[in-house]
Amino acid sequence: MPTVDLVVKNGRLVLKDRIVEADIVVDHGKIVKIGSKEQSVKSDRVIDAKGNLVIPGCIDTHVHSREPHGAKTPAGQEDFESLTQAAAAGGYTTVFDMPVTCDPPTTTVEGFRVKKRLAEKRCIVDYAFYGGAGFGNLDDLTGLAAAGVIGFKTFTRELPSENEGWRGVTFGEDGPEVFLRLMEAVAKTGRLLSVHCEDDRLIKHLKEHLQAVGDVGLDAYYRSAPNASEFLEVARSISLAEEVAGARINIAHLSTAEGVSMVKEAKNNGGGNGRVSAETCPHYLLLTNKDLVEKLGPYGKIYPPLRSDGDREALWRGLNEGVIDFLATDHAPHLREAKEPGWKNIFEAASGVPGLETALPLMLTQMNQGRISLFRLVEVMSRNPAEAFGISSRKGALEVGRDADFVVVDPKLEMILREEDMYTRSSAKVFDGWQVAGAPVLTAVRGEVVMDEAGVVSGKPGYGEYIEPSRPS
């Protein structure tokens, strides 16, 4: 037998419904064989998994790179290199970057090309981009799909049309009409539409009232964006999707109990064939507004807000029952100076937290505590995203013919998450100091180690490849 590139030995491979003790044979970036003790195979390299778990590389369906940087971008902001270093350190082998928080935004084919040229030089793991969908760019959606966007993103905001900063990702003043038209246009491309569900008019009214009376303390942010600000738009999104042939929507960063119930009802009424899906994030499963008020301050300001224990428990039920399909991070890095003003006025702090380096250790800890099964964890962090976004011919499972994206996981490794150990250029305080049990100890993308056994990100900038859907996703 010819010499192959790599053999991964002594691993416990996590497949769809079982764990097997087997070796993985890798050649030219692909898994070419899975077998027991492949001693006869000659390879250039050997990785000894030492009896640890080997899981498919995680796929994050929701990150914000901050690149391309614009003229007003603060110095030292996150870029594709630091973002994908954080991904590699956290066990992520593929990330999907959102179309906003960059300049130019990914709302035109030219904006897509500018972003891709930068990413090609800097990304360490594989990646894909969303295109924006909203007022002012509906004629660009077909071209963006042809260019290779992984999906589309819109915000349920009804901002004035002259607000150029949100052109191509919101509805403008003709909200329902534009929402319906963009849903129809996205459906024709075959791509999935990710929807940020918040009623901006309700939030604007409540925020202005709180500010007018000087109520700008830490708890005010939660009260400015109550549960209704999310679930009213979840209901509208689902209702419109039911009217559009071929529409597939994903409710981004679901945070409320009411939203979970609405997604569950939609799936029970015919949306379970992929027409309606939902994601949530570790911070909504593990934190509440009480954590922001009593401990985190502005570093816990997230968009949408952290909510109540009741919401948190509903999200856990939804995740385990299959109502929620993906676990995303909504990795949204901000420098410290963007957060600190929130101690005096919470509305002046930037919204968002990083999550790429903490999500897998946190969820492995929850697995060890019996909150979620290992198989369900792999499903929501790898298999489901690959299938929903049309990249399952390459990603999402340890199977012959797929990319050799894998993570060696020590399920019992105890460690403390520390901000100073992280690669992200962000104020990563939200889970700083948390004790975890279980962590990635090696990450490989297409057979190349990008985070080694010493915990050092060793991947080279420019190694990551752009991943296009292999079918209309």
DSSP string, 30-44: EEEEEES--TT--EE
CA atoms within 13 A on the CB side of 353: 29
In this structure, the dihedral spanned by the alpha carbons of residues 98, 103, 108 and 113, taken in order and rounded to 10 degrees, is -90
Average pLDDT (291-313) is: 97
What residues does each domain of the chain span? 4-55+401-451, 57-388
Give the alpha-carbon dihedral of 11, 12, 13, 19, to 10 degrees: 170
CA 207 to chain centre: 28
Mean pLDDT confidence for 255-276: 89
Helix axes 359-368, 80-90, angle to 10 degrees: 20
Indicate whether 7 pLDDT > 70.
yes
Residues 132-144 have pLDDT tens digits of 999 989 999 999 9
> How far is the C-alpha of 118 from the C-alpha of 186, rounded, in Å?
26
| CATH number assigned to the domain with residue range 4-55+401-451, chosen from the 4 options 2.30.40.10, 2.60.40.1180, 3.40.220.10, 3.30.1360.70 | 2.30.40.10
Q: Which two tokens stand for residue 163?
A: 């607000």
pLDDT at 163: 66
- 8 Å CB contact between 171 and 178: yes
* pLDDT of the residue at 72: 72
Q: Measured between alpha carbons, how far is 1 from 21 in angstroms, rounded to an integer?
A: 23
Task: Return the pLDDT at 274.
Answer: 73
At 323-350, the pLDDT tens digits run 999 999 999 999 999 999 999 999 999 9
pLDDT of residue 471: 54
Residue 225: which residues within 8 A CB-CB, separation 6 or more?
198, 203, 206, 304, 305
* 7 contacts: CB under 8 Å, gap ≥ 6: 23, 24, 25, 26, 38, 41, 43, 45, 46, 47
Residue 472: pLDDT band with limits 50, 70, 90? very low
The pLDDT confidence band at residue 114, using thresholds 50, 70 and 90, is very high
Give the pLDDT score at 161. 61
Would the pLDDT of 473 be above 50? Answer: no
Provide the mean pLDDT of the chain: 94
Task: Give the residue, 173 or 357, on which the prediction is more confident.
Answer: 357
224-243 tens-digit pLDDT: 999 999 999 999 999 999 98
User: Class assignment of domain 57-388?
Assistant: alpha beta
- The Cα 313–Cα 383 span in angstroms is 24
Neighbouring-strand partners of residue 126: 94
Percent helix / strand / coil, the chain, rounded to 5:
35, 20, 40
Lowest-pLDDT choice from 11-15, 157-161, 429-433: 157-161
Q: Which residue has the higher pLDDT, 415 or 157?
A: 415
Q: Is there a contact between 271 and 256 (Cβ–Cβ < 8 Å)?
A: no
Running DSSP on this structure, what letter comes out for residue 91? T
